[in-house]
């Protein structure tokens, strides 16, 4: 039995129409979300179904053999870790320092606006252009040769805007009252940044690191011209060595090598995605730990 509606307080036609529109908009956004998730699930399911037969302990711990039609991916796996690690070492400190200057020291003038515009434009430059820059700058001009160092520095330049933008936004999210409280107690600007602002921004900085890792692992063009090779029987022992890489290895066994078992390219692709997931999961777990210890 429905309850009587108090006259003057019932739903008006406008309220009914707004609720109907709200429900339609919610369903539309839900459908869009599902449309984004479903292709990812299908791709992962396809990779697992076709690539799982290729996965084994030997696949991760041995070198490719028989013109890369058999064997494992150990050199590419180790080389990718080298490339990512050196790129992070090169880009994160520089990116954080640039973000600190732009957020905490630089005034709003034509120069800083020009720098911000340059950072945004740098983020949109195609990776092949970064590859040519790395070839000219690091391989030829600085004479690093085709090496891990040249490839990693190219990747660092390419991903530097991600670190700068994410760090700057995180620094600006720290309440201004924190800075004012420190300054009122006699702390210098650098002491405030080092003791208050940066500790409360670490979790956001790690977000930029996660995005950088995801992009660095999957890039092919920048490393193809600067340090990655089609095949090498040796594991890298220093930054001036050449190396194989997962992304280039996947491209090679998919398009350049003949008589490759059907499961091999899918196994390499699945391993590449697994590497990204593992590296990002470690960063996300550390970021969540830092957020739990946050004081505000």
Into how many domains does the chain fold? 2
CA torsion, ordered 269, 274, 279, 284, to nearest 10 deg? 130
Q: Would 3 be classed as within a structural domain?
A: no
For residues 49 and 108, membership in a common domain is answered with: no
For residues 157 and 267, membership in a common domain is answered with: yes
8 A C-beta contact, residue 74 and residue 60 = yes
Q: Residue 8: enclosing H or E segment and its boundaries?
A: none
Q: Would 240 be classed as within a structural domain?
A: yes
Q: Which one, of 80, 45, 51, 133, lies nearest residue 275 by Cα? A: 80
Q: What percent of the chain has pLDDT above 70? A: 95
Q: Would 176 be classed as within a structural domain?
A: yes
| SS3 state at 86 | helix
CB within 8 Å of 252: residues ≥ 6 apart: 68, 230
8 A C-beta contact, residue 246 and residue 73 = yes
CATH code, 213: 1.10.3720.10
Q: How far apart are CA 95 and CA 162, in angstroms?
A: 8
Q: Would 245 be classed as within a structural domain?
A: yes
Q: What is the pLDDT of residue 14?
A: 82
For residues 105 and 44, membership in a common domain is answered with: no
For residues 275 and 155, membership in a common domain is answered with: yes
8 A C-beta contact, residue 13 and residue 235 = no
Q: What residues make up the domain containing 166?
A: 58-292
Q: Would 31 be classed as within a structural domain?
A: yes
Residue with the two structure tokens 């609720």: 19
Q: What is the pLDDT of residue 8?
A: 53
**Predicted confidence (pLDDT) per residue in 64-87, tens digit:** 988 888 888 999 999 999 999 999
Number of alpha helices (DSSP H) and beta strands (DSSP E) in the chain: 12, 2
For residues 161 and 202, membership in a common domain is answered with: yes
| SS3 state at 275 | helix
Cα dihedral sign for 187, 190, 194, 198?
Answer: positive
Q: How far apart are CA 77 and CA 273, in angstroms?
A: 12
Q: What is the pLDDT of residue 1?
A: 47
**Predicted confidence (pLDDT) per residue in 142-199, tens digit:** 999 999 999 999 999 999 998 998 899 889 888 888 888 888 888 888 999 988 888 8
For residues 44 and 70, membership in a common domain is answered with: no
For residues 32 and 173, membership in a common domain is answered with: no
Q: Could you give the angle at which helices 148-173 and 202-218 cross, rounded to 10 degrees?
A: 150
Tokens of 275: 């590497």
**Predicted confidence (pLDDT) per residue in 193-248, tens digit:** 988 888 888 888 888 888 888 888 888 889 999 988 988 888 999 999 999 999 99
For residues 197 and 89, membership in a common domain is answered with: yes
Q: Across-strand partners of 64?
A: 71
Q: Would 153 be classed as within a structural domain?
A: yes
């Amino acid at each position: 039995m429905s309850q009587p509606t108090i006259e003057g307080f019932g739903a008006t036609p406008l309220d009914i129409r707004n609720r109907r529109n709200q429900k339609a908009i919610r369903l539309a956004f839900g459908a869009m979300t599902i449309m984004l998730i479903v292709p990812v699930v299908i791709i992962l399911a396809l990779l697992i179904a076709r690539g799982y037969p290729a996965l084994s302990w030997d696949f991760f711990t041995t070198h490719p053999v028989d013109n890369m039609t058999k064997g494992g991916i150990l050199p590419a796996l180790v080389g990718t870790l080298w490339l990512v690690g050196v790129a992070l070492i090169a880009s994160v400190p520089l990116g954080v320092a640039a973000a600190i200057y732009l957020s905490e020291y630089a005034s709003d003038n034509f120069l800083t606006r020009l720098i911000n515009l340059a950072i945004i434009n740098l983020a949109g430059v195609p990776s092949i252009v970064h590859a040519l820059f790395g070839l000219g700058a690091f391989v030829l001009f600085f004479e690093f040769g085709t090496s891990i160092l040249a490839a990693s520095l190219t990747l660092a330049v390419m991903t530097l805007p991600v670190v700068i933008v994410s760090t700057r936004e995180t620094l600006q999210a720290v309440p201004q009252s924190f800075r004012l409280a420190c300054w009122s107690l006699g702390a210098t600007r650098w002491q405030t940044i080092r003791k208050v602002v940066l500790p409360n921004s670490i979790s956001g900085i790690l977000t930029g690191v996660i995005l950088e890792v995801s992009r660095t692992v999957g890039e092919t063009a920048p490393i193809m011209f600067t340090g990655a090779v089609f095949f090498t029987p040796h594991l890298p022992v220093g930054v001036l060595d050449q190396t194989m890489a997962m992304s280039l290895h996947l491209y090679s066994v998919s398009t350049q090598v003949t008589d490759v078992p059907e499961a091999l390219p899918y196994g390499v692709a699945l391993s590449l995605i697994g590497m990204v997931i593992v590296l990002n999961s470690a960063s996300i777990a550390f970021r969540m730990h830092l957020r739990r210890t946050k004081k505000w």
